Structure 1
């Protein structure tokens, strides 16, 4: 049981969520970090899970690995409240240190005081931290990455809009001009079956990547209303996630990337009928670099090979890709043309799997499951040309004037129907913005002015597009 003595917060879950033995803990964390890749650009904020390391440690490592080899002079970890049901405010632990089996981590007291200077709802309430695990389980990763670590733990009681805005504003002010990293601790869906968890988590992640807090709240309410068996919550760390998103928006870290997704059934001892979801997500101030030519050619080869095997009735080839950029979960579309005319186009708007497998999957759908066309035949295979569009996260459109023809694709959800047009489509068709808006409505089977409906939800996205020369 955790105790506070001379403002030293003792570990509450050592030996349960992670090894209590320092040598075993060091070895486990170092191995998990060594197995994860590191990408540019540098993160300004992260979302990482906080379950037991045997379940979520490999996902957390994909997040923390992004900090390797980088230096920060301010580290803030945002935790959620599992154990104090009547605590509704935000507690900033402001003095002393937190202890783990790897040693003590001093509090950055000056930074804590800067946060507390914002006033209520930010207060120093140490007792609400004592048995809570959501911050503690992140510390061994940080200790192995930063031996001289100082940090500020912040626990969010109620994820109300007022609390989130107050904390995000306090963080933006206190961290201005500093090399700072904000880490939000959260797991995703709790306790549905595996297949339900993946569906729910896919939508939650998509909402997070949009950087739209209201869309996250809407997604949570919408999916909880469906009463999926076993589903207790979409995201236990709603407060930390919303606060990290709001901080990212305020500080220009508007490029969101899903680094890794898994759930507890993905490990050998996990159950398929009772799972918890996990994601590592990065927010950065710079966008991802475009794929290199070698990676593009690899993906085009995967798409072509997948279509050939599927049309010929053969099993899809097993994929072994060495480029870490193709391991990232990405949403994509594959477009098939024959003689310059569309022959099939299917894709996904949310990242479901690593990019290599996503391209393989949607290439087959484009060839065999586009309802506008009959399935591709073996005789057509030599005459097909392939184009791949890798999508950025969807962003809600607040004003239609922000849509740029040639840069943005559109996705509409209205009246229970959806429609999507890729960024290259209006350019190929010679449409202006108004024609583009009408066309995406028609694509969804809606009246051409449906984007004006009060309940219509319109999103824009960008795409990295490449094809065979």
Structure 2
């Protein structure tokens, strides 16, 4: 848990919040029923008062209930973002705000540069955004908005998008707060609208623990099966928040949790203290080096990159949690995108990566992507612990992608390629077996992105340092 003295340090992200969005909490809609969730109302009023004191230029909100795309985040490009509660019987209850189009353009630019999948769409204000903003607007009227709907994506991708938002906020020097809108389990009570599922209790208990301990990266460890059976709608918002706050030091507090209607509502605040620096606390150094806490007799080679990838997978399969490692011996300092690929008997068994870094070190990036490659590549069943003796790992450390204008700027052995058209993106690593021409490399990348060679697209190239 990070607990430090708050200070005014010039970070442009000043605070972040988790907020639920039950329309019934608005008195005009609840008509007295809102009194049953008085703790949630009080907590939302508390964060609204804090936001008034911060006086942000922009509120960035991510929601589950606007336009959603599978495999891409959806970014609102409307100049004026407005909506009402018409669908809940209150057509005269409406809100509007100017879109911070400068920030939006820079998020889109960053997505294009990194090959991150997005859709740019004019959207109305959904109730997932309306409810938190209803409370905020009662305290603060002069702010612009950035309105985003998360996509159905791997947890590592959602965390990566959070880090993209952080980079844009700091580069554009935009005084901001961030709202992760999401309700928790929808199946807490047999008398509730969605019935009862025992997984709901477990999911909400995990949420409370993660917030209290400040371990937001552990949202990525929640089983997709658990989340689905709980019927939640907030986990992807929380994953974006995790990626965003991984770039900062912060203190956190759970302000309220309740679920009297059978749906869990949690309100939490995160006060940003500084840009995150290298940590040297004992907890973050639980690595596999001989003088640390955990050693696994699982070395495949003397390459520390491959060793860390393999040990990360084995540790997760044994203990169902991530290996803690800030900076492993022999691995480069700084941050970078990382791809981890697994093969079994010479055949691909999983490959997951991040184009841009989502963690504060290359070591952490390897750990998360190795586990994702083993367990979350949708093309393959999860790797079992019994397979590890047959699994061969490779680790690619990526340079930052650069836009190119012509295939003449590519070299199939030296450069990987990213192609992007709207929300569709395809990526292919360099120097792959059987890929011996730029034409073949480009064709496969286009095919992976679902992009026709006949339509306009943007190309980027990147280099890798490969460990295999």
Which structure carries more relative contact order (alpha carbon 8 Å, separation 6+)? Answer: 2
TM-score, normalised via structure 2 length: 0.46
